[in-house]
Structure formats: structure tokens, C-alpha cells
Amino acid sequence: MAGGDDIAFVGMARQAEMVRDGEVSPTELVGSTLERIDRLDPELNAFRKVFADKAMLEAEQAEARRSAGDKRPLLGVPIAIKDEIDVTGEINLHGTDAFEVPAKADAEVVRRLREAGAIIVGLTLLPELAICGFTESATYGVTRNPWNRQRTPGGSSGGSAAAVAAGLVPIASAGDGAGSIRIPAACCGLFGIKATRGRVSLAPKLEGWRGMAVEGCVSRSVLDSALWLDIVSGGSTEAEAPAAPAKPFVESVKDSPGKLRVAWSTAAPRAILPATVTDEVKQTTEDAAAFLARLGHDVKQRDPDWGRVGDTLTARFLKGVAETVDEVPLPERLERRTRGFGKLGGLLPESLYEKAMANRPAEIARINSIFDDHDVLVMPVMGGTALPVRRWQGRGALATVLGMSRFYPYCVPWNHLGNPAMSIPFGFGTDGMPLAIQIIGRKESEPLLLSLAAQIEAERPWADQLPPIS
């Protein structure tokens, strides 16, 4: 067997292949994973809970199944689950201390992953109720970025991103209601794709954040995310759920995207305050456009017709957050700022929200008109590299919302509209932190996006770039 540190960064698909081929046993693989978590997580604070004994027992069972010829796609592979998804017998704490009842059954996503043979080694941290673009809470402290422990891994899936970036697990679940897959991926030099709304079932929930939230993962490679999507997709009851793809997503990774019509932009939707975007981020987006042109794509600068979508985004985000706060069984245990988020949404008249949502069909048509003449849109993920930890510590809900809306303006429109969008590593900033680009496609265009991402990955590989904590 290769040493534990040698296989920590090979990714989920390769680890599964190594188990199938007998290069590593499930007990060796899970054991090395748990050793890395025990050794490195005290510096990162990525996990809320680790299932060491249970994971080793499941690894022994996986070893017996492999010996009996079991060919499940993730047999014996260790994964982590964000602590907002139901895992049987565990209290789903959502980054808080405000819940007490254990889950009676696995969420649909977890059920599918277990059925594929994956072994859950732990639950990863998030900010309270997944509201913020950083992973810090009064209950669990600060989660740190493996590239620089004085920087945030982003949020809300910051624990998952920190764990994958540091090689604690090859892949981890992530949820995205306003950028919470793409922002942590960008902060930590990982790949993250937010699928089309309804691609992945949220069961037992019907929807999240009034239809804005989707479930996915953060990973080291395009192939890993495609394989994850193949395993967890389907079964959604949402009205906007797309049809199944014509072929597995892993097959799309092998396809050439062909010559694409590419639009690029650094223009952000209008908000209460103007976006704060560094020159370095703008230059990275322009450099990505030039790179795609060199690959043979037809590339043009064009801004989306944002209109006043910022008004709708504000109303929808705040109402979704307020609804989430209202559902907490022990709200007195929430942070003052979290309760403040709920109050902000409560102050917004329902009629104003309904009026904003009535504009959604027109906004979908207007903004998506960019895809009449272009296949994909390239833009930033966020306004700079990962922010310092405790950037908004001690600040109230309004100050935090305004600050986040200025630094993270590029992700939430695609939750509102339902389009698939992905964060792709694209070099490093002058501060040594990862940079990224965001690429958005039409609804149901995940096969095309994955194909393009794989083309970029082949020309500009990122997985061999490891953080110093690794």
C-alpha cells in the first residue's frame, strides 16, 4: 500500500479504483484518513464530529464485500457530510446548539452515497444556519483555510472545503443557497459545481431557502464531482427538477466541449452598496477569457442584463433566512447576529417578497438571454481571495449582510434563476491564496460545463498544488 499521505490527495474516483484493484484495503484507506483528521484537524477545525469507531467497522464490512466481489462505485471510500444534512441517529445542528432531536433516517443524498459504498467519517462545520460566506460560530469557533490559517475557507460549506483541501477526505458534501459550494471552492483551490435547481433531491426537505438551495460537493477534480453527481442525482420532487442526463456525467468529462461561444464579464448586479472587486480578480477573469480563446473558443466581452434583479435577490435571501430562523426549535441558543438575520427578513413585508418573486419569470428570460448568443458565461466567484478570519466578528446582521453582498455579489443570481454554475481554480493571487473563475451555463447544461471544466483542468491542472498544512 502507498503511504497514507500519498493517497490523501488522489481524489475520490482514484481511491475507489485503488480499492477495487486491491492496491489499498478499505481499512487501510479509512485508517489513514482518520489519522490525518486526528493530526491536522486541530489546526483547521473542519469537523464537528468524527465517527472513528463506526467508520472503521464499516471499512471492515466493505473489505469483506470487496473480497466477495462487490463492485459498488464508492466501496470503502471515506467521505464527509456537511452538518446540515440528515444522518441517521445524529442531531443535525446546522452550525448551532439549537437542535436536540436526532435524525430518524438518512437524507436521500446520504442514502444514495451509502448505497454506493461510501463510508461517512464525520460531519463538517458551517456557520449558523448556513447563512454566512465564512465558517465561524460562537459554539464551534473559527474554521481555517489550509492555505493560510488566518484566512477563511469561505462558507457556508467551509468545513467541507477545508477538509478536502487539506486531504483529510477526498470529497465532502456541500450545499449552495447563495454561493456556498462555489465560494468555499474558490477560497480553497477546489472544484465546485452548483447543479441545476432540482437536479439533486433535498429529501426529506421539499426545498431550501424558498427554492434557492441545492446540494452538491467540493472536490479535487472535475471527475470526482461528476461521479458524485451521477450517484446523488434524481428523485427530486421540485417542480423545476430537470430530466436525467442522456448519459452519465462522468462520460461528459471525457467529451470535448467543441468550439463554444463564450461571454465574459466582471459586472455585478446592482445592490444597496457597490460591489468591492479587486483589480486582480478582474484581471484573472480577463486572463481566463484570453485562455479560452487560445483553446479555440469564440470569446467576447458581454455583461448580463441584470436590470434590478438585486432587489429580488435581497428579498428572496432575507425571507429564506427568516423562514430558516423561524424553524429553529431553540432560537434562544442562536447567536445575536443570527437572530438579527431573522428579524431583517421579518421586517420585509410578504407582499414585497411576492411582488419581487412575480418578477422572476421576466428576470429568468432577460438575464438568460445572454445564452441566446453564447454557450457559457465566465465571471468572478467573489471580489478577492479568501477574506481574513473574523472579518465581521462582533458586527450585527445588517452590517454583515451589506458586507457580504459587496464581496460575494456574483453567485446568488444563479441560485435565484436556477442555472448550473461552477467554480474552477485559476492560479494564485499575490498573497499566495487561490484564485478562481465562475462559469455559468443554461439550465440543464451540466454535461457541457463538466466537459469544459475538464478541458481547462487538462491544460491548467490544479490538483497537484497542495496547501502548506498538507
Per-residue pLDDT tens listing for the chain (470 residues): 345 678 999 999 999 999 999 999 999 999 999 999 999 999 999 999 999 999 999 999 999 999 999 999 999 999 999 999 999 999 999 999 999 999 999 999 999 999 999 999 999 999 999 999 999 999 999 999 999 999 999 999 999 999 999 999 999 999 999 999 999 999 999 999 999 999 999 999 988 887 899 999 999 999 999 999 999 999 988 888 999 999 999 999 999 999 999 999 999 998 778 899 999 999 999 999 999 999 999 999 999 999 999 989 988 889 989 999 999 999 999 999 999 999 999 998 888 889 888 999 999 999 999 999 999 999 999 999 999 999 999 999 999 999 999 999 999 999 999 999 999 999 999 999 999 999 999 999 999 999 999 999 999 999 999 999 87
Contacts of 324 (CB under 8 A, 6+ apart): 129, 130, 131, 209, 342
| Strand partners for 436 | 425
Q: Could you name the CATH architecture of 4-459?
A: Alpha-Beta Complex (3.90)
| CA–CA separation, 238 and 200 (whole Å) | 10
Q: Which residues, in sequence order, are CB contacts of 215 under 8 Å at separation 6+?
A: 85, 109, 173, 174, 175, 176, 200, 201, 202, 232
Three-state secondary-structure class, residue 427: strand
Query: What gap in Å lies between CA 154 and CA 134, rounded to an integer?
Result: 4
Q: Give the per-residue pLDDT at 180.
A: 98
* Residue 3, pLDDT score: 52
Q: How far apart are CA 309 and CA 329, in angstroms?
A: 33
Q: Which residues are catalytic?
A: 82, 156, 180
